[in-house]
Structure 1
Amino acid sequence: MTLQRRAFLQRASLLAALGLSEAGFGLLSQRYQQALAQPMRRKLALLIGINQYPESVCDYTLRNPASKGSALNGCLTDVELQYELLLSRFAFASADIRVLTNQAATREAIETAFLEHLVEQAAPGDLVLFHFSGLGSQVQIDGATWQNSLVPIDGLLPTAERPVVQDFMQETLALLLHRLPTSQVITIIDAGYSRLGRSTEGNLRIRSRPNAPVGAIAAVELAFQASLRRPVSSFSKQPQPLPGLLLQAGTDRQLVAEAQWSGFSAGLFTYALTQQLWGDAPLLVSFTQAAALVQRSTGAKQQPVASGELPALGLAIPAAAGVIQHIEPDGRLDLWLAGLPAAVLENQTSSLFAAELTTEPEPVLIQIRSRDGLAVKARSLSPVVLRPGQPLREVLRILPRDIRLTVALDPDLERIERVDATSAFAAIPRITAVAMGEQATDLLFGKPKFPLLAGQNSQPASQPDSAPGLTVQKTVQKTVQDTPQAPPLSKGGYGLFYADYSTIPSTLNPTAEAVKTAVARLKPQLKTRLATKLLQITQNSSASLKVKAKLNLVSPETKSVLEQGTRLAMPSALKEPRSAPILPAGGQVQYALENSGDRPVYFLLIGLNANGNPVLLYPANPIIAAGAATAVPAVNGAKTGGGWLLQTATGLAETHVIFSTAPFTQTSQLLAELPQFELDQVLALPNPLAVVEAVLQDLHQASAEFAAKLPVEIPADSYALDVNAWASFSFVYQVVLKQVVLESPVG
């Protein structure tokens, strides 16, 4: 999988095919040259992923059918995601990436690899990356001291005969990081420490032990710590900030989980982060966007955090959807498309991509044939010889028109309830009910469980959420209270739930009801969720449009919250790590939109408010002229009174800002038929699915002229979207009752 070095893009025809203007080419070329102009330095990485923990290590039974014989399913995928990203996007040499997985990832092997591969090989100015995906744990040392640990494959639980904790202690990791001779360090931890008393949360797998082991740290581990500590005399007295940047999948007290997608499982955080990093956004902007994607699945239960100083990564290639991994003797191509949004990847059928070449006057078009998880089979539409490692850019996104919503049935429901639910869902067009864990799903159906976060209150009261130095936390607690594995079901009615079994707003019935009655009652919400899924497949920041959008709070205070843009209008780099946006209920926001390109664009805003209800803003003037900007809704408008009012309910909200080179003709006609429709107003949508389908059809029409020129046949039952005809950004944020610091830095 060695990355082939190549010259940068040279031919104007290729630039045009990829949607790059001369100005855009100059911007990318400048960034590329800056990366190459940096002093030559080495890039070293140690990637660790563990799925196959034995029961004597993970602290729960693997005979449960839901476990499928493995404690976790997504950690090896995490390693593969990172490996391909570092190799193909950030110019790491394959020989400089060390990988330890499953049985190879013992505590001793991890510590030895860190010393030999990172500490001993790194030099001042070198870039070092350490990634761990697996189980984390809290451990209680000698009945008094609490410490966090990462669980190696041989991290056996303490027993009466051998009351020893054999984990890779967090303090050991901190000591190792301080031994590095460089400050250019990135540490990524996709594991949790919260003891929740169970191994799953809804349809998610929890990446932490359910309970805290009690015992003494292994003597060999203490000796290893002592050997590391001697050259750093200050460590025993005063914790030091870690070098570089620390990215954690969640705080110490929170859920950290992995999820199942179509054909693969992965850590929510690692998948979101690596997908964002295939794009052009700066690292900390990518982190903030990844944190928002994680919260789309978990709400406030998992909030990725960052601390420390940002090192310079240096780029290997411009932003891409993925790379060519392998070429079969018969010419078939194996592609890796981890740069596509998850919803887009899941629904790939026959989309077109372009391979970047310097030896040909035109780009080489590649068409998808089949997909298995993140790996895609494709064929080239040209006889030109291709090579592994060549980056791929989206050209034409071909998506089916009959995308379905998949609902998982809670296994705690009685058999007759599941049978009735399956029958009732089958009667609703484009809705499919499946058993939980059977395949990737969009939401869950069942009864509410309580307490929703059983065991979370068993955390030591004096323990902070996280610390920039991965310091030891101390508190006294005589016993560890195990929490129930299965909270009881409510005796009320049914509802819809997110993947982590948190309630989707406005779907619960507090009184008892028949299953078929519940499904009929939930039909409008199901259509709303299908519309939301369709909106997610419009996400596109790789367009040649030079547009960006900024979410601003305008009341009760004025503050910039989040900015997104295409590759030719990149958002400003953040100066410090930030968590995902948190906005006060009752506040008001405004979206500042900018078109710095050479042609006008049309726009609209659509999404869900914190109540889970669909909303839309269609402007009276839906055009932004070339080089112009606008802000919606008006802050001092007579009707709006001060911007987009956030509901007083708490919850997750998401707004999609969609730009297009052509007017939203069908969408505007459909909206005009609504009796309550007003321009420049945040409108509650009674027909979100029809509106979103009209938006997709408008984008399809905007792409028709370009699609007709391509040497492929577009299936009649598909949308064919020219990626340079539109751009779409998703703004995800939490609405809370009390006002808190927006996007507050962690650490």
Structure 2
Amino acid sequence: MTLKRRAFLQRLAGALAALGISESGLALMSDRYQQALAQPTRRKLALLIGINQYPESVCDCSPAHGAALNGCLTDVELQQELLTHRFGFQPNDILVLTDQAATRQNIEDAFMDHLVNQAQPGDVVVVHISGLGSQVHLSNENRLVSSVVPVDGLLPSAEAPVIHDVLEDTLRLLLQAVSTEQVATVLDLGFMPVGRTIHGNLRIRSRPNAPSGQISAAELAVQERLRSQVARLPQVQHSPESFPGLVLSATSGNHIAVEGQWNGFSAGLFTYALTQRLWSTTPATTLRVVFNQVIGTVKQIAGLEQQPALSGQKAQRQGLTSSYFSPIAMPNADGVIRSVEDDKVQLWLGGVPATVLDNYGASLLTLVASEGIAVPPLLQVRSREGLIGKARLLSGEGSSLMAGQLVREVVRVLPRNVGLTVALDASLERIERVDAISAFAPIARVTPVIAGEQPADVLFGRALPAQTLTASLSPQTLVSPVPTAAETPEPAPQPGSYGLFSLGRDAIPNTLIPEAEAVKTAVNRVTPQLKTLLALKLLRLTVNSGSSSLGVRATLEMLAPEERLILQQETSRAPGKPPTNKVTSLLIEEAVSTLPVGSQLQYRLLNYSNQPVYFLLLGLDSNGSVFAIHPSDASSLAPDNHALIAPGDTVIVPPVSAADWLVQGPPGLAETYLVFSRQPFEQTEQALQAERPSAEVHRMMAVLNPLDVVQALLQDLHQASSGSLASSEVPADSYRLDVNDWATLSFVYQVVAA
């Protein structure tokens, strides 16, 4: 892609870049980011940079399939669609630099011409950069600095020792030279050199090694000119060593940033999670909770290796006035109409969660704004390629359809034959991969692939020795398996033992053993865990806090060792407004909600709809075990013994008197899913009753058949939505879930040692 302005090619403006990004509240960060974009101002300017096509002489590796990265252009597209259709940026005010256009000179010129020379006090400026980051050793100063790697950032050599990257000091000065304090910078890249480009089944966004070189005299002169320009800004006060506004970074410190792969597209985990959540938020949404969900989404895939963070001069500012961050009412959505031809409609679906989009069937969407339309059009997705869906007009007035209109999910259609894809780790020898493929073949609904080549859900590989990537980055976080109990750590696995890992190579509990074994033996041993992981995948496909019209709210509270609010979620498209929540400000502002082992928890569930709703709680603890919790008090039970919340009522799960939900070890991530429906969970209850003693009908219980339970849950939700669409319009081998009839809220938190 070429620059839009010829002047960029003649203008010199210093811009090297990087970031020392501290760990702070991503929830707080997201609040400021959302509000800074949504507030009414005279102008909103954006500079979006994405680079996939790095030559080997720049990226210090052999690019796979011709590209060092695969998802950076998708990141730019995600951000551009969000800014244009959600936050009202004018297309002419968004400048995009990708691949060969993203040279260091062009980046510097773009900053100067598009942002520095145009932005006025009070304007909003957004800068997004996706690509490779790096650490660079300044040989003449004997120190390390961070940098953003432009497409022409040639590695320094003995003959040509000059550094061609965009260095941290220059990037900070370029941002400080912009005449507004309302600057949001999104950086989906990392800086830590880890000696490789693939981590598990994820691609690392940093140079594998730290080059050594020197800053040129010309670069130092550019920095000095920028300092003089910043000093002359009359209305903007910048701290000399801080980035202005907010810096939203995919990672921080000695951690990695990665991109993921889905069917038909790749994207930065951070960018997709961030932009997708911003599509569904409203001014009334508790944004701290929303962005805790963002970081939870990242960690569900990358594990603890990626640590999104916030820095910048405004990062810790409290009590911002409404005139500064006053959001405007903007419709939330799941996608945008790209084109219309007769009854064929092309949709951009970047507002749908990536895991759901990967399994999107013949789902139904309608227009966000359908006032004045007698019969609102109903669109059915017929096929999908990447983020683009091809739909047909199923019913309603097709004449009202036009490009640029926002669409929302109405009925989610999911295939019944969703399977689990297992990536075979790159560290396996060829004969090990052959044996693994043969061993996985007879397991129903499980498909093996080679890591790094195709999308996957889980990784199969060998236990790594103590000198692992994680150990080298953070002594507190080990790639070797976590102990099965906080008090009795399991023996360290031998390098010859096999097990299951997250895509970011965090060990999945109870899948590694201390003895060496054959590949086939290991695959047979972990088959029960594969069924649990498939159940978890299916459960995640029901999460719809952004699209559900069922008015519910859930708040996670800690009762001991101290009382505090941890997380809160509510549906964003329910009719009317939820009751004013006076305790939201008490929610913790941590980047990841952490709970010590032994904490006593409860959920406070509110039904603010005009009809009763049934509910169910399923969870996965940090030991990899699935559990269910039912209310113990008869007041929350319907006559048929199903858990029920009346309109306007609140239910505590479990009740304070029960005191039986204590966080168990080991340290790791835990997930909880609150599922609400207008109809009782009859088949789910039957599946749970099959293994539950009658005396413990309403207590916390282990779920030993999670796949059966989750499949029964999907069937219950399907039955609850049976009146929403003629059966002839949906494939027989699909579940159809109406957003008016169900809601699933997901909570992710980190368990730590007490």
Maintained 8 Å contact 2:564/2:587? no
Greater displacement, 562-571 / 513-522: 562-571
3-state SS of 2:465 partner: coil
Amino acid at match of 2:425: D
Q: CA deviation at 1:38?
A: 6.5
Q: Deviations over 1:140-179 (max 9, x none)?
A: 2125222111111111111001111111111111112212
Q: Deviations over 1:215-273 (max 9, x none)?
A: 11122221111111013459999734433222110112101111111111110100111
Maintained 8 Å contact 1:323/1:392? yes
1:361 to 374, 395, 398: 374
Matched residue, 1:269: 270
Partner Cα separation in structure 1 for residue 211 and residue 37 of structure 2: 49
Taking a change above 3 Å as real, the CA distance of residues 282 and 551 of structure 1, as seen in their structure-2 partners, is closer
Partner Cα separation in structure 2 for residue 288 and residue 229 of structure 1: 36
Q: CA deviation at 1:539?
A: 0.5
Partner Cα separation in structure 2 for residue 576 and residue 45 of structure 1: 31
Matched residue, 1:468: none
- For residues 490-639 of structure 1, the aligned pairs below 5 Å read 491-541=495-545, 542-567=547-572, 568=574, 572=584, 578-620=590-632, 621=637, 622-637=643-658
3-state SS of 1:705 partner: coil
Q: Deviations over 1:176-201 (max 9, x none)?
A: 22122112211101111111111111
Partner Cα separation in structure 2 for residue 552 and residue 629 of structure 1: 14
Partner Cα separation in structure 2 for residue 612 and residue 575 of structure 1: 27
Maintained 8 Å contact 1:323/1:337? yes
Amino acid at match of 1:342: A
Partner Cα separation in structure 2 for residue 736 and residue 72 of structure 1: 34
- For residues 647-726 of structure 1, the aligned pairs below 5 Å read 647-676=664-693, 678-708=696-726, 713-726=729-742
Partner Cα separation in structure 1 for residue 384 and residue 89 of structure 2: 27
Maintained 8 Å contact 1:284/1:573? no
Q: Deviations over 1:635-663 (max 9, x none)?
A: 332xx34xx21112011111111111111
Partner Cα separation in structure 1 for residue 152 and residue 653 of structure 2: 56
Partner Cα separation in structure 2 for residue 557 and residue 573 of structure 1: 17
Partner Cα separation in structure 2 for residue 453 and residue 516 of structure 1: 25
2:662 to 622, 632, 645: 645
Q: CA deviation at 1:421?
A: 1.7
Maintained 8 Å contact 2:36/2:325? no
Taking a change above 3 Å as real, the CA distance of residues 548 and 136 of structure 1, as seen in their structure-2 partners, is same
Maintained 8 Å contact 1:553/1:588? yes
Partner Cα separation in structure 2 for residue 39 and residue 341 of structure 1: 28
3-state SS of 1:704 partner: coil
Greater displacement, 156-165 / 617-626: 617-626
Matched residue, 2:153: 155
Q: CA deviation at 1:680?
A: 3.6
Matched residue, 1:471: none
Taking a change above 3 Å as real, the CA distance of residues 140 and 122 of structure 1, as seen in their structure-2 partners, is same
2:389 to 376, 386, 404: 376
Maintained 8 Å contact 1:49/1:133? yes
3-state SS of 2:725 partner: helix
3-state SS of 1:396 partner: strand
- For residues 347-496 of structure 1, the aligned pairs below 5 Å read 347-355=359-367, 356-381=369-394, 382=396, 384-385=398-399, 386-451=401-466, 453-454=468-469, 457=472, 491-496=495-500
Maintained 8 Å contact 2:136/2:145? yes
Q: Deviations over 1:375-414 (max 9, x none)?
A: 1111112452211111111111111111000011123323
Q: CA deviation at 1:107?
A: 1.1
Q: Does 1:254 align with 2:216?
A: no
Matched residue, 1:239: 240
Taking a change above 3 Å as real, the CA distance of residues 238 and 706 of structure 1, as seen in their structure-2 partners, is closer
Q: CA deviation at 1:417?
A: 2.4
Matched residue, 2:478: none
Q: Does 1:302 align with 2:314?
A: no
Maintained 8 Å contact 1:277/1:283? no
3-state SS of 2:151 partner: coil
Maintained 8 Å contact 1:596/1:627? yes
Amino acid at match of 2:705: N
Which TM-score applies when normalising by structure 1? 0.85
Taking a change above 3 Å as real, the CA distance of residues 36 and 653 of structure 1, as seen in their structure-2 partners, is closer
Q: CA deviation at 1:442?
A: 0.2
- For residues 95-106 of structure 1, the aligned pairs below 5 Å read 95-106=92-103
Greater displacement, 490-499 / 437-446: 490-499
Maintained 8 Å contact 1:255/1:302? yes
Taking a change above 3 Å as real, the CA distance of residues 369 and 452 of structure 1, as seen in their structure-2 partners, is farther
Amino acid at match of 1:398: V
Maintained 8 Å contact 1:289/1:580? no
Structure 1, unpaired ranges of 5+: 1-33, 461-488, 739-747
Q: CA deviation at 1:314?
A: 4.6
Taking a change above 3 Å as real, the CA distance of residues 258 and 242 of structure 1, as seen in their structure-2 partners, is same
Q: CA deviation at 1:577?
A: 6.2
Q: CA deviation at 1:547?
A: 0.7
Taking a change above 3 Å as real, the CA distance of residues 438 and 139 of structure 1, as seen in their structure-2 partners, is closer
Partner Cα separation in structure 2 for residue 673 and residue 283 of structure 1: 40
Q: Deviations over 1:98-125 (max 9, x none)?
A: 0000111111111111111112111111
Partner Cα separation in structure 2 for residue 455 and residue 630 of structure 1: 41
Matched residue, 1:146: 144
Q: Deviations over 1:602-622 (max 9, x none)?
A: 111112100111111123431
Matched residue, 2:482: none
Q: CA deviation at 1:357?
A: 2.8
Matched residue, 1:340: 352
Maintained 8 Å contact 2:54/2:68? yes
Matched residue, 1:470: none
Amino acid at match of 1:121: Q
Q: CA deviation at 1:317?
A: 4.0
Amino acid at match of 2:421: T
Amino acid at match of 1:380: L
Partner Cα separation in structure 1 for residue 276 and residue 656 of structure 2: 35
Greater displacement, 230-239 / 438-447: 230-239
Maintained 8 Å contact 1:532/1:607? no
Maintained 8 Å contact 1:595/1:629? yes
Partner Cα separation in structure 2 for residue 218 and residue 295 of structure 1: 39
Matched residue, 1:9: none
Partner Cα separation in structure 2 for residue 452 and residue 713 of structure 1: 55
Maintained 8 Å contact 1:90/1:314? no
Q: Deviations over 1:483-524 (max 9, x none)?
A: xxxxxx954321011111221111012212222221111111
Taking a change above 3 Å as real, the CA distance of residues 70 and 447 of structure 1, as seen in their structure-2 partners, is same
Q: CA deviation at 1:334?
A: 1.2
Taking a change above 3 Å as real, the CA distance of residues 178 and 578 of structure 1, as seen in their structure-2 partners, is farther
Identity of aligned residues (%): 53
Partner Cα separation in structure 2 for residue 459 and residue 216 of structure 1: 29
Amino acid at match of 1:716: A
Amino acid at match of 1:408: A
1:177 to 168, 175, 178: 175
Q: CA deviation at 1:419?
A: 2.3
Q: Does 1:71 align with 2:73?
A: no
Partner Cα separation in structure 2 for residue 203 and residue 36 of structure 1: 33
Maintained 8 Å contact 1:650/1:734? yes
Taking a change above 3 Å as real, the CA distance of residues 690 and 458 of structure 1, as seen in their structure-2 partners, is closer
Q: Deviations over 1:47-98 (max 9, x none)?
A: 0001111111111223xxxx22211111000001101111111111110100
